[in-house]
A and B are shown apart, each in its own frame.
Chain A
């Protein structure tokens, strides 16, 4: 698909602009809460964009992406704790302390999630279909129970981040600045993925999803391609987790729970599987439902359930599919 103004590209552009406009309007009206809400949308969308690479492009239905989301969050939390206390994460043989530098935290979050995802992926990708769904769920549950009983880092109570980390010359404590950082990351990652999907690697990955035998006859083994995509996908979700922890000033095992894995899947499907901006549309709709209906009734989970069900049954392409017509691939 070239750069010409297709219907989906137009929808995407409007979505991206709307997400940027909402907090700017909010600041103009002195309503900082909506800036926070927009940051939440951007971050959860980023988590969904990560999953979408595995799930949409690669056809790997991971029901355990909360593991990576939570790990990223814990990296931010643990770094902030040690930075705040001036203590060390590891004292020997290397001195590794905490950090209040955002880039360092991002880098560590990326590395940690990459390592864990390589391990989980190497085992899980031996399976496929429902087995893959369930084994990723099982790994996430293991990490969840591990975090709950981890006394050093708060266990079930979680960890507070008293001071948001910063970038040189950028004051991320300011809600709008923090939003812009998240927004820039979201668009940057979407752009990179767009390039990736159009690359040779992307072609191989899509082929691995649709016709692995054919890929093998071309002399490319599907396993390393899928493992790479799975790991990249986990890293993006992990980065989102680090941002989410910074946004909330808090990380807890709830970020690792299987319900959260479900929610990330919801963002992807609600928006439209395999579509670049699908997770953004999905996350935006989810957050709007959650915060507006949640304010109106205690039974909002019932409403949410009905909405989700209707999307699956009647709007198969998700929100973007509704707005932009036929699916980009199939």
Chain B
């Protein structure tokens, strides 16, 4: 029995260590005091990590360029899990006392974090996810989206398909809220007849059955929203099917980070985006060059969004003379007085962008697949939910 208490002593030691950890965390916390503290929750591990890494790198690049030594950026990985994102947000807010949260890629993670965070009086600046729930009834004075409202790119494609005289598009998206929003957004601006409409399983990787249905329906064009690996799989399988119908989609499946994996199958595809690396403005040229120099790869859509998010925050921070006066800071954010890499940029009354949405085409430059702008889908476009937002 003498030896019997060893375990208890060990457990006691573990308990004490836990308490000590709390105390240490607390001490560490009071030691550093930056003027502006930003917490970034983003996806850095597992599938889909390239998006989070691009947002982080774009954001960090803007901070480096501004030489903002009094801005502290904390970054943590959410592993694409809502409850982990929520836990990190709680930690950032309660322990690290951040002023601003940012970084979330996925709508379902944003829905887990944003409503509670803004209720706690923290600002949330979204560099990507823009679910309709946060644009309409659930909008909040402390929530800003620098990228787009989720429907935007699909709406622009709908308009483009309609204007270019297509009469019988076939549309498909995964069976989840963003997929339904995508097809609804497309149909908001494309009002003609459809050859067919399919919802696929989320995360599906084999589209043979859907491609056969498309063949059977004999459409004159195809519009799809299949983010991540789903889009890559669809395009590769479509290219092998012997079908030759023009394909349209939002930029997510045709952006820089993913084009390499889609391969030649993507050549010639028209896609909509609020940004492109060949946009002709000084801020964008400097950004593309600096990003390539710093990271040795071409920037993606997500990198541009991270970069813009950081510059928006820095501009507002400078203008309001800090973040102490939250009303002044909010007002400065609303004015959005910064050089966006997309050119003209302002916020609608529900804190989502009013911006041009371009139509790009996938082309080959040397050995590299990339996009070039071929037209404008929607000019100075806001979103469908402005009227629902009361704040």
Contacts and interface: CB of A to CB of B under 8 A. Distances in A.
A292 to B, nearest CB: 8
B95 A33 contact: yes
A255 B77 CA distance: 18
A323 B4 CA distance: 9
A288 B22 CA distance: 11
A148 B11 contact: no
Interface residues of B, number: 51
Interface in A5-51: 6-8, 10-11, 14-15, 17-18, 21-22, 25-26, 29-34, 36-37, 40
B94 to A, nearest CB: 4
Nearest to A25: B19
A7 B94 contact: no
A207 to B, nearest CB: 29
A300 B78 CA distance: 11
B6 to A, nearest CB: 8
Nearest to A12: B11
A229 B95 CA distance: 41
Contact of A254 (B87, B108, B178): B108
Tell me if B's interface is mostly helix, strand, loop or mixed.
helix
B158 interface: no
A156 interface: yes
B22 A31 contact: yes
Contacts of A325: 4, 7
Interface stretch (B111-119, B249-257, B276-284, B345-353): B111-119
B297 to A, nearest CB: 18
Contacts of A228: none
B175 interface: yes
B77 to A, nearest CB: 5
A290 B131 CA distance: 28
Nearest to A13: B8
Nearest to B110: A157
Nearest to B112: A250
Interface residues of A toward B: which range? 35 or more
B180 A31 contact: no
Contact of A155 (B19, B29, B176): B176
A21 B160 CA distance: 62
Interface in B1-49: 4-5, 7-8, 10-12, 14-15, 18-19, 21-23, 25-26, 29, 44-46
Given A158-B112, A324-B7, A18 B15 contact: yes
Contacts, number: 148
A14 B12 contact: yes
B5, B14, B79, B84: residue with the most chain A Cβ atoms closer than 10 Å: B14
Given A21-B15, A40-B87, A151-B180, A252 B77 contact: no
B18 A288 contact: yes
A40 B84 CA distance: 11
A87 B221 CA distance: 42
A18 B83 contact: no
A262 interface: no
A169 interface: no
Given A149-B176, A157-B131, A14 B8 contact: yes
A291 interface: yes
A295 B76 CA distance: 6
A154 B79 CA distance: 21
Nearest to A298: B44
Given A7-B4, A31-B95, A33-B91, A157 B107 contact: yes
A26 B20 CA distance: 10
B82 interface: yes
B81 interface: yes
Interface in A265-291: 288, 290-291
Interface string A278-319: 000000000010111011001111000000000000000000
Contacts of B217: none
B175 A252 contact: no
Nearest to B133: A157
Q: Does more than half of chain A's interface fall in helix, strand or loop, or is it mixed? A: helix
Contact of B77 (A8, A22, A162, A298): A298
Contacts of B23: 25, 29
Nearest to A17: B15
A191 interface: no
B10 A323 contact: yes
A324 B11 CA distance: 10
B86 A250 contact: yes
A97 interface: no
B7 A7 contact: yes
B60 interface: no
A11 B7 contact: yes
Interface in B338-374: none
B75 to A, nearest CB: 9
A34 B202 CA distance: 35
A151 B11 contact: no
Contacts of B119: 162
Contact of A18 (B4, B18, B25, B44): B18
Interface in A114-156: 145, 148-149, 151, 154-156
A248 interface: yes
A33 B133 CA distance: 27
Nearest to A18: B15
Q: Chain B CB within 10 Å — which of A36, A149, A255 has the most?
A: A149
Given A15-B11, A36-B90, A157-B107, A25 B22 contact: yes
10 contacts: A10-B8, A25-B22, A29-B22, A29-B26, A34-B95, A148-B175, A155-B180, A157-B177, A157-B178, A158-B112
Interface of B: 4-5, 7-8, 10-12, 14-15, 18-19, 21-23, 25-26, 29, 44-46, 76-77, 79, 81-84, 86-87, 90-91, 93-95, 107-108, 111-112, 115-116, 119, 131, 133, 175-178, 180, 199, 201-202
Top 9 nearest A-B pairs by Cβ distance? A18-B15, A323-B7, A33-B94, A156-B176, A33-B95, A10-B8, A14-B11, A250-B112, A155-B177
Given A157-B133, A292-B21, A325-B4, 11 more contacts: A18-B19, A33-B90, A148-B176, A154-B111, A155-B180, A157-B108, A157-B178, A158-B82, A158-B108, A244-B83, A298-B45
